[in-house]
Chain A
Amino acid sequence: MQVNNGHVRTAVAIVTAASLFALAACGSSSGESGAEASGGEDTITVAYQKTATFTQMDDLMQTAKAEFEAANSGVTVELMPIEAEQDQYFTRLALMNGSAETAPDVIYEDTFQIRSDAAAGFLAPIDDYVEEWDDWDQYLDTAKQAGLGDDGQLYGVSTGTDTRGLYYHKDIFEAAGLPTEWEPETWEDVLEAARAIKESAPDVTPMALYTGQAQGEATSMQGFEMLLYGTGDQLYDTEEQKWVTGSQGFVDALTFYDTVYSEELGLPLELALDAAVGGRVATELLPQGQVGIALDGSWLPGNWISGDNPWPEWEEKIGFAPMPTQEGQEPGATSMSGGWTLAVGSQAEDPQQAFDFIATALNRENSLTYYTTAGQIAVRADIAEDPEYLNYNPSFEFFSSLVDVTNFRPATPDYSQISANIPVATESVATGSATPEEAAAAYDAGLVQIVGEDQTTEAP
């Protein structure tokens, strides 16, 4: 017995030592392999978004990779498409940026995230590099502005901008006895048209309106803000530099949501709150004539022309109308503009090389292809007037005209955090769990929590 115990003890001691050693070994080896994964000196890692309805950035990156590798022998461009919807994309990107080992060198970055990510130290300033880039002079001033961080340094090169408006299906309008050249002047006109559609075709969803948390920023921008900025109220008082609480416009915009869902003019809620609904409206419901009106971004026709689900008939079937202001007040219509950029990650080993890749990706030819296929509004002067661009897509003329009335989101580092509360408000109103007033009050409370009482101002 005694002898046996001794043996067991020795054996256990050995196993212990071995397992501890193995643990230590695990730790060190994973560290090394992580560093390798992020690419050696001559590898540029590029992170961008790719979804079923958004493959144009992938096409652009493939082209740029081939061109860049051909021009710079010995350099490998490692593409890291992130297949996720918008909200998830930001999360994944932020997680990648959290560690030096996984941080990408070139990042496809939404303009509304730039200030936030620059403040977080995820991005590298590129002022020095654009100075030596000939094409930079072609960029419009608004596009240059969009890439600025809070510190006034430049962090991103715009890949194009966008506007938002109403799409309507002419067949459905005709059946409902509505004009096929539709020009709504107030919110009530839009709702009236939706009611007429519901009357004539009960199976058709009268109006697709981005709602709920699953759509994230799309709900904030394509949905709620398209309404709010037509009321005269805004999210942020740029003169006082404070966030607005208790505005009537906020309640009115939510009341619009309330009307749409309580009168069953919107998509069935189970569908409207589904993460995939944005893509489905664009590729399925609108082309199949199951949605009468859709409030959406200028990029939809890009999919119909060259996406995975082409829909050549769209030019005859789809009409466009600017989103009217609430009561038709000046300027009569409203829109929101955003857009994305390419940025250099702060962990890039060779920022100059990373920027050179961006310069290749956004040279004249590649930009033209991207603007046209992805349905972007050109931000390069040399392309904006190019007939090849203007004639490519008949919707460009309409969406470019909205630039006159468009609005931009508040450019502050905490916008993205604050904006995340807007979908919550729309969802609680749409599901009937809160009145517009209650949901607006909940938003105000969340806002104060994020920015503090002294950074807010009561609406007049």
Chain B
Amino acid sequence: MASLTEPQVDRRRRGPTPRPRPGAARTLGRLLPLAPAVALLVVFLVGPILYSLYGSLTNRSMSGPGAADPQFIGLDNYTQLFSDGEFWTSVWLTVLFVGASAVIGQNGMGMALALLLRAASSPVRALVGTVVVGAWVLPEIVAAFAAYAFFSGDGTLNIVLGWFGLDGPAWLFTFPMLAVILANVWRGTAFSMMVYAAALNEVPPEITEAAELDGAQGWQQFAYITLPMIRRAVSTNLMLITLQTLGVFTLIWVMTGGGPGVQTSTLPVLAYQEAFKFMQVGYGTAIATMTLLVGALFSVLYIKVLKPEVD
């Protein structure tokens, strides 16, 4: 306490003299509150990332000589990965899955629902809100089984189609990517909806009213008033759902197992298969590391394009 008050008094007396350098103890004191966060980040984030980077440079395997004594093999895993057509297919599938289910699906649906619910009567709002949030509240494994039961050959969807005399295909087999994308949209829309509903509430009604007086149409209001004002919420939301969707494993694994063939094997599924099915842990880790990189790329893209920090 004393150390904090004294320099202040000094400064006042000396007038415009340059601010004295704070003592080392004081710097330490100021950094101290960051310590728990830094410690947690190092233990649970930086550590595993570094370990995974190291793991991806070895030939560690689940069984065999590679399990007893993993060798450092440099960038071999990566050169093998980049020359593997399956990896590039998987990268494309991942981008498709993230783009269609998160960026377009969850994000668009969430925004649409938030906008529509603003105008809805309160019973409708409560009902729709409950239904949408219900999917989000479910644990991922439960949601995955529910989606599997819905889309499978003799599942709910085809039974309902049957009532109308329609004969649905085996969705998980014929349109596996579509099925997992729809399932992920169903599961994740609630999050975007809630983020946007909160953001829309923060838009001052005066501005909207002023725009209305100036004769702005509904979509013009949305494009020129609402959207710029909630831009930061959009950016945060996109970033969060992208990273979340990038890591989706359980949903796809339960519904299709990455198949048929490799039609739904996104990067996390591929990494799991290489590490735990083909027993090549080092190679699987290399894929996981690439997934990390894809996530980082998406994040940089959002920060650059949407510039959330500038107002």
Chain A residues within CB distance 8 Å of chain B: 2-3, 5-6, 9, 12-13, 15-16, 19-20, 23, 87, 90-91, 94-95, 98, 113, 116-117, 119-122, 212-214, 216, 268-271, 273, 275, 413-414, 416-417, 420-421, 427-428, 431, 433, 449
Contacts and interface: CB of A to CB of B under 8 A. Distances in A.
Contact of B64 (A16, A120, A427): A120
A120 B4 CA distance: 61
Nearest to B256: A273
B32 A121 contact: no
Interface string B54-73: 00000001111111100000
Contacts of A273: 173, 257, 259-260
Contacts of A268: 153, 170
B54 to A, nearest CB: 17
B160 interface: no
Interface in B15-55: 29, 32-33, 35-36, 39-40, 43
A77 to B, nearest CB: 25
A6 B29 CA distance: 10
A445 to B, nearest CB: 9
A94 B278 contact: no
A428 B261 contact: yes
Closest 7 CB pairs of A and B: A120-B67, A270-B173, A94-B62, A6-B1, A121-B68, A270-B170, A12-B33
B80 A449 contact: yes
Interface string B1-16: 1001100100000000
Contacts of A116: 63-64
Interface in B262-288: 273, 276-280
Nearest to A94: B62
A214 B1 contact: no
A427 B273 CA distance: 15
Interface size grouping (class) on chain B: 35 or more
A87 B261 CA distance: 17
Contacts of B153: 268, 270-271
A427 B260 contact: yes
A114 to B, nearest CB: 10
Contacts of B63: 90, 94, 113, 116-117, 119-120, 122, 416
A164 B260 CA distance: 27
A214 B257 contact: yes
Nearest to B65: A119
B193 interface: no
10 contacts: A2-B4, A20-B35, A20-B36, A94-B67, A94-B279, A98-B62, A121-B67, A212-B260, A214-B257, A420-B278
Contacts of B260: 212, 269-270, 273, 427, 431
Contacts of B152: 270
Interface in B206-250: none
B143 interface: no
B32 A23 contact: no
B181 interface: no
Contacts of A431: 260-261
Contacts of A15: 36
Contacts of B172: 270
Contact of A119 (B1, B29, B35, B68): B68
Contacts of A121: 67-68
Contacts of B33: 9, 12, 16
A420 B36 CA distance: 45
B190 to A, nearest CB: 30
A3 B39 contact: no
Q: Which of B61, B62, B65, B277 has the most CB of A within 10 A?
A: B62
A2 B1 contact: yes
Given A120-B68, A421-B278, 10 more contacts: A2-B8, A9-B32, A12-B33, A16-B32, A98-B62, A119-B63, A270-B260, A275-B257, A416-B63, A428-B261
A120 B63 CA distance: 5
A23 B64 contact: no
B61 A91 contact: no
A2 B26 CA distance: 14
Nearest to B176: A270
Contacts of A216: 277
B4 A5 contact: yes
A424 to B, nearest CB: 9
A204 to B, nearest CB: 17
Contacts of A98: 62, 67
A5 B67 CA distance: 54
A241 B56 CA distance: 30
B29 A427 contact: no
Nearest to A26: B43
